[in-house]
Amino acid sequence: MSRSPGRKQENHKISRELFVLTYGALVAQLCKDYEKDEDVNACLDRMGYSIGIRLIDDFLARSAVKKCRSYSETADIIAQVAFKMYLGVTPSVSCNSAAGNEFSLILDKNPLVDFVEELPAERASLCYCNLLCGVIRGALEMVHLAAEVTFLQDRLKGDAVTEIGITFLRKPEDRKHRR
Share of the chain above pLDDT 90, in %: 66
Residue 102, classed as helix, strand or coil, is strand
Residue 151 has pLDDT above 80, yes or no: yes
Query: Which of 55-59, 84-88, 143-147, 169-173 bottoms out in mean pLDDT, i.e. has the lowest?
Result: 169-173
Place 38 in a pLDDT band, splitting at 50, 70 and 90: very high
3-state SS class at 96: coil
Q: Residue 18: is it exposed, middle or buried by C-beta count within 10 angstroms (0-12/13-18/19+)?
A: exposed
Q: Is the pLDDT of residue 82 over 80?
A: yes
Q: What confidence category does residue 130 fall into, taking pLDDT thresholds of 50, 70 and 90?
A: very high
Contact by Cβ (8 Å): 111, 89 = yes
> What is the percentage of the chain residues whose pLDDT exceeds 70?
87
Q: Per-residue pLDDT averaged across 78-105, rounded?
A: 93
In whole angstroms, what is the distance from residue 18 CA to residue 21 CA?
5
The answer on pLDDT for 179 being more than 50 is no
- Determine the CATH number of domain 37-118+126-168: 3.30.1380.20
Helices and strands (H and E) in the chain: how many: 5, 4
